[in-house]
Structures are given as structure tokens and as C-alpha cells.
Amino acid sequence: MDLLTTLVDKGLRRESPTREEALAVLATSDDDLLDVVAAAGKVRRRWFGRRVKLNYLVNLKSGLCPEDCSYCSQRLGSKAEILKYTWLKPEEASEAAAAGVAGGAKRVCIVASGRGPTDRDVDRVSQTIAAIKEQNEGVEVCACLGLLSEGQAARLRAAGADAYNHNLNTSEATYGDITTTHTYADRVDTVHQAQAAGLSACSGLIAGMGESDADLVDVVFALRELDPDSVPVNFLIPFEGTPLAKEWNLTPQRALRILAMVRFVCPDVEVRLAGGREVHLRSLQPLALHLANSIFLGDYLTSEGQAGKDDLAMIADAGFEVEGTDTTTLPEHRADALAGGGCGGHGGGGCGPCGDGDGAAEAVAGDGARADADASAAGEARTDLVAVRRRGAGTELPPNA
């Protein structure tokens, strides 16, 4: 396909595709799917080889969030029967993180539900970061605490945080349909604050919430402009008890096309296969490793994931290797820019005025209408694969790592 040849050439040069080209990737047929994966895989291998970075989530505070994000099982008014608990002590969080590091995780993502941290919360998280780093030499720590106030990003950076996650989740045009208690602009501002403080920015999306192809392309192009170092791609887990409980809109094939589109638009960025991969990609998860160079190991915030040992076996069987702590994840040009206080490097894109907290959470989930083939996804929904987390942080049971 001429389209794929063009997209590969652009990706190898770190050039952006056009919106029309990105939309065309989402519109490709199932017959062309393996060609799409192979093409995006060339771009992935150019910048990240066959390495897979492992990340591990620790839910510091679960449930009882005052925000009304429709996709989230921790939202205000959620009837989802998830674990609910207040802040883990630093030593408890460090113990939970150690399980992920022992399983091969290079980055620990510490997440807390809520609109955003108070200054006291930042003090508490700073102690947790110190405890994790003291016990786990060389591990990266990414904080995900919601909307940041002035100066909080700098305090987290001084405490030893390496990165900050705050997802855009969906397009600006449709954001108000998903959340009303804060704005899309609030999220963009928090990512800018993290970048300005020298933190590696992590910001991504949730697919499967009823959005159009145009919405998906809009949010991914917005992410390219924002220029985070890592982009988690979540697929909605429609939890019972949330407003999006009936939104089963994804097939494994569509999930792969979405990942391929993200890779073409963000060729040299750490693309992370995040929440919902087990539910929506299912047996096609190994193919997704040709598109994403990073995954979450084990469980998520409020849902259970694939067994950690199965993740490791999948990576090995697919011919990939787990990235070690002695390896720099980002390509040299991005790593150098981050070390120098910049944020990324898409030539003309930039990261705006440089100078959720759900971090993959439970979602960590056609122009105007989807393609007919994808519209039938509801008939193929695997609701039995949605499992509420009952182990790990906040419980007496060992974590899955």
C-alpha cells in the first residue's frame, strides 16, 4: 500500500503524517491489518529495537474520588465494587513496588485518586518516593496524582520523581461529554507544569468510549503537539456501576489499528500498551508488541491484569526482550533533550510553553460513526474478562507481578 510506504518513510524521519493519513490507518480493512502492523513495526524497531519496557502500578489511594470522569470506577457516584482505602504508608507502597521490580519492572507508577494533591499529600508522596528509591536501586518513579498546583511539580522532582502522568484521554471537542468537574485545558496545564519542572511527561488516551475516528486522531495529534516522552494507550474497561458500562466498542483488530496510528503519529515516543489490553486485544496481545515498546506488568489500579509470568512469557515468545535498568528507553535525541531540561524532540512540534490522575487506571480504558465491522463489537464483548482487583496494594494478598 502506498499509504504504508509513506507512513514508514515519515516515521523513520520523525515526521508527522497528515490527519488524512492517520484517519486512513483507522479505516484500513481487516485484510490489510497484518500489513499495517508490519509497517508500524518498522518504525517501532527503528527507535526502540525489540526492547519492551515494563512498568508497574501501585494504587496509593483507591476510590472515593470527587471527580466525575465517566470511564473511571473510582469516580464520584461510582457503584463499581472496587477496593476503597486511604493512603498507603510509604513502607507499604515500597513493598508493593518491590514486587513489580522483582518481576522486571523498570518504572513504578504511583497513583492516587482525587482531583489533585494538597501540599500535605505532596509531602506524603515525597516520602513514598524516597522509600521506593531507597529499596529499589535504579528504578524510575512516575507520579500520577491528578491536577497539579503551582510549585508542586518542582517539589515532586526535588523528591526524586522522574516522571509525571496526566492523560488527555479524549479529544478536546468531546472532553465535556466525558468529564464535567474539570476541563481539557486543566489537563494540558498540568502536563506543561510537569515539563517545566524537568519531569518526563507521560500523557495518553483512552479508546473505546464511543469516540469517532476523528476524535482519536485529534487527541493523538494533540499529544504529539504536547510532546510527552511516553504515551499510554488505554482501552476502556466498561466497569459495571459506571456511566460507560455498556460501551463495548472495540475489537482486537480495531485496537491494533489504533496502536498503529499512535505509533505513526508519535514515532520516537515510548508508546505504552496500558489498561484494557487483556480485555480487548486478548490473544492478539503479542502483535501489539510490534507497535508498543512498553507495557504495564500485572494488575492495574482497580482491575486485575494478565499474570506477570504470562506477560514475561508473551514477550519472550514474541521474540522481544525486557529492557534492563542499564538501558536508556528513549532514543538519544529525546534523552538528550530531556537531560538538558527540554521536553522531547519533534522538530516542528515542540511542547508548547515549556521552560489523572488515572495513569492507566481502570481503562487505563468511524468519522461520525465507526466502520461497520467495528460496530458489531458489542456482539463479541468479553465481559467475563473484567475482573476487579482483589489482591496487592490495599489487601492482605500478594500482588500480581
Task: Look up residue 80 and give its three cell numbers.
Answer: 463499581
Q: How far is CA 304 from the centre of its chain?
A: 16
Q: What is the 3-state secondary structure (H, E, C) of the chain?
A: CHHHHHHHHHHHCCCCCCHHHHHHHHCCCHHHHHHHHHHHHHHHHHHHCCEEEEEEEEEEEECCCCCCCCCCCCCCCCCCCCCCECCCCHHHHHHHHHHHHHCCCCEEEEEECCCCCCHHHHHHHHHHHHHHHHHCCCCEEEEECCCCCCCHHHHHHHCCCCEEECCCECCHHHHHHHCCCCCHHHHHHHHHHHHHCCCEEECCEEECCCCCHHHHHHHHHHHHHHCCCEEEEEECCCCCCCCCCCCCCCCHHHHHHHHHHHHHHCCCCEEEECCCHHHHCHHHHHHHCCCCCEEECCCCCCECCCCHHHHHHHHHHCCCEECCCCCCCCCHHHHHHHHCCCCCCCCCCCCCCCCCCCCCCCCCCCCCCCCHHHHHHHHHCCHHHCCECCCCCCCCCCCCC
CA gyration radius, the chain? 19
**Residues with catalytic function:** 65, 69, 72, 109, 142, 202, 272
CA–CA gap between residue 179 and residue 67 (Å, rounded): 8
Q: How far apart are the first and last CA of the chain?
A: 41
